[in-house]
C-alpha cells in the first residue's frame, strides 16, 4: 500500500486471493487518506513493475512530496530493490514514511536530520533482509509444492491453444525461411500470446527482404491480434553506433531525438494509435524542457524505468516504445520509416535547427509512400480525407 501526500493518491498491493485490502485501507484512512483516493495493485510485492506503483512514480510523484507505505514489504520483498527505490526517492527529494517503522514518521529539526537518516537506514537494512528471507521461504515452499504436484501428474498453466495440424511447419516457415530473420518468445504482459523479435536489419532490409506481409497474414489466420488488444506494442530499436562514432556524438544525437519527441508530443501520440492512458502506462514521456540536453539529463535519472517513450536503458540500442501493436503491413513500415526519419533529422540538424523545425516542415522532408499514406490516414500530413483499412 503506497500513499502520496499533497497529490492525495495511494496504491495498495495485494499478492494472493486470500489477502484482503481492508486492513491496509483502514491503516491508511486512520493516517488521514481519503478512501476514494486509494488505488489497488493486485500483484505480488516481489515485483516493483506493478502498474499502479509505476504510474505513481512516473506521473504523480514530484519533488517535495511525501510517500507513505503501510509496510516495507509492500514496496518490495527484494532488499536490493528496496534500497534502489529508496535511493531514487531520496534523489527526487521525496520523503518516504513507513507506518510500521515509527521513526520514519518522526520530524526532526534540520540540524538533527542525519540522526533520523542513520536510524532509518539501519532499520530498513534489517527489515529488508527479513522481507527478502520471507520471500525466499515462500519460493522454496512453492517449488516443493510444484514438485509434489508434478509427481501426481498435475498440469500447470493455461489450457493448450488449439492449433492447426501443420502448426510446426507454419512456425518453421515464419521463423526461418531461407535465413533466420526472427525468433518468437513469450512476454509477461501477454495472455495466450507471443512476441516476434527480429534480428538486427536495416530499414531497406525490412522493406525489401523481410517477409512481413506473409508473417502478418499467417498470424491473423491463426487467430492472433495486435492492435485490437490492450497490451500489445510495437517496439523499434536503433543501434547507438548508427547515431555517431563516439559516445559524445551519440549523446548529442539522442538528445535531439528526445527533443523532437517531446516538442511534437501531440503528433507522436496521434501517430502511435495509443490512448493517453496507455502511453502513460507503457511509454511515458520525460516531459518537455528548453533543450534536448536537459531532457536527456532527466531521462538518465531512470525514473521511468524501461517504460519510457524512448527507452535509454539498453546498452547497445535506444528503444522507441510509443507505438501500439499492429498486424497491418503499411502501419509497421510507416512506423519504421518515421523512426528512421527522426534519427536522420537528429544526425543532420544542430540543436538550434531542431528547435526551429515545425511538424509541417518535418513532413515536407518526407518522401516514403507508406509513411505519407499513414500520415494522411491519421490526418497528420494534410487535412484531406482518405480511406483507412481497419488495423489488426
- Residue 55 cell numbers, joined: 504510474
Query: Which alpha helices (H) appear in the chain, and where do they start and end?
Result: 22-30, 51-55, 79-91, 113-151, 167-175, 203-208, 212-221, 247-263, 265-272, 276-282, 292-300, 329-348, 351-356, 359-364, 369-377
- How many CB atoms neighbour CB 302 within 10 A? 14
- Report the DSSP pairing between strands 317-324 and 310-311: antiparallel
Q: Is 15 designated active site?
A: yes
| Letter string b/e over residues 10-41, b meaning 16 or more CB atoms within 10 A of that residue's CB | bbbbbbeeeeebeebbebbeeeebeeeebbeb
Question: CA angle, corner 75, sides to 71 and 78, nearest 5?
Answer: 110
CB 24 within 8 A of CB 1: yes
204-to-74, 209, 338, 342, 373 alpha-carbon distances in Å: 48, 8, 13, 16, 18
Residue 87: exposure state from Cβ atoms within 10 A (0-12, 13-18, ≥19): exposed
| Distant-in-sequence, close-in-space partners of 284: CB < 8 Å, separation ≥ 6 | 58, 59, 304, 307, 308, 309
- Residue 236 cell numbers, joined: 523499434
The secondary structure of 198-251 as a DSSP string is: EPS--HHHHHHTS-HHHHHHHHHHTT--STTSSS-EEEEEEEGGGS-SSHHHHH
Which of 15, 76, 226, 272 is catalytic? The answer is: 15
Using left for φ > 0, alpha for ψ between -120 and 50, and beta otherwise, residue 223 falls in left
CB 70 within 8 A of CB 27: yes
Residue 315: exposure state from Cβ atoms within 10 A (0-12, 13-18, ≥19): exposed
C-alpha closest to that of 257 among 319, 205, 316: 319
Task: Give catalytic residue positions.
Answer: 15
Amino acid at each position: 500500500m503506497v500513499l502520496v501526500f499533497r497529490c492525495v493518491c495511494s496504491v495498495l498491493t495485494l499478492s494472493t486471493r486470500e489477502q484482503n485490502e481492508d486492513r491496509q485501507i483502514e491503516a491508511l484512512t486512520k493516517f488521514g487518506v481519503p478512501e476514494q483516493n486509494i488505488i489497488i495493485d493486485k500483484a505480488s510485492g516481489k515485483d516493483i513493475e506493478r502498474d499502479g506503483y509505476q504510474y505513481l512514480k512516473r506521473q504523480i510523484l514530484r519533488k517535495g512530496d511525501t510517500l507513505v507505505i503501510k509496510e516495507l514489504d509492500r514496496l518490495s520483498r527484494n532488499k536490493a530493490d528496496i534500497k534502489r527505490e529508496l535511493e531514487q526517492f531520496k534523489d527526487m527529494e521525496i520523503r518516504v514514511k513507513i507506518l510500521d517503522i515509527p521513526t520514519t514518521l518522526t520530524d526532526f529539526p534540520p540540524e538533527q536530520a542525519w540522526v533520523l537518516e542513520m536510524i532509518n537506514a539501519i532499520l530498513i537494512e534489517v527489515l529488508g533482509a527479513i522481507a527478502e528471507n520471507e520471500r525466499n521461504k515462500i519460493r522454496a515452499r512453492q517449488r516443493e509444492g510444484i514438485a509434489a504436484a508434478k509427481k501426481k501428474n498435475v498440469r500447470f498453466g493455461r489450457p493448450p491453444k488449439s492449433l492447426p495440424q501443420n502448426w510446426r511447419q507454419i512456425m518453421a516457415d515464419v521463423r526461418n525461411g531461407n535465413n533466420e530473420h526472427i525468433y518468437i518468445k513469450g512476454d509477461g504482459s501477454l495472455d495466450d500470446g507471443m512476441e516476434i523479435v527480429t534480428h538486427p536489419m536495416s530499414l531497406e532490409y525490412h522493406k525489401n527482404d523481410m517477409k512481413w506481409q506473409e508473417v502478418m497474414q499467417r498470424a491473423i489466420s491463426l487467430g492472433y491480434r495486435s492492435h485490437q488488444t490492450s497490451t500489445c506494442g510495437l517496439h523499434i530499436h536503433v543501434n547507438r553506433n548508427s547515431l555517431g562514432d563516439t559516445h559524445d556524438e551519440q549523446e548529442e544525437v539522442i538528445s535531439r531525438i528526445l527533443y523532437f519527441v517531446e516538442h511534437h508530443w501531440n503528433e507522436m501520440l496521434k501517430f502511435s494509435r495509443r490512448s493517453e492512458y496507455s502511453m502513460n502506462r507503457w511509454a511515458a514521456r520525460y516531459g518537455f524542457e528548453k533543450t534536448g540536453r536537459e531532457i536527456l539529463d532527466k531521462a538518465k535519472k531512470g525514473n521511468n524505468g524501461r517504460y519510457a517513450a524512448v527507452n535509454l536503458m539498453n546498452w547497445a540500442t535506444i528503444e522507441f516504445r510509443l507505438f501500439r501493436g499492429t498486424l497491418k503491413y503499411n502501419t509497421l513500415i510507416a512506423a519504421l520509416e518515421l523512426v528512421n526519419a527522426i534519427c536522420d533529422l537528429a544526425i543532420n540538424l544542430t540543436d538550434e535547427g531542431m528547435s526551429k523545425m515545425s511538424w509541417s516542415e518535418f513532413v515536407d522532408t518526407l518522401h516514403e509512400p507508406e509513411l505519407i499514406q499513414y500520415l494522411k490516414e491519421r490526418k497528420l500530413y494534410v487535412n484531406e480525407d482518405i480511406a483507412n483499412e481497419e488495423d489488426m
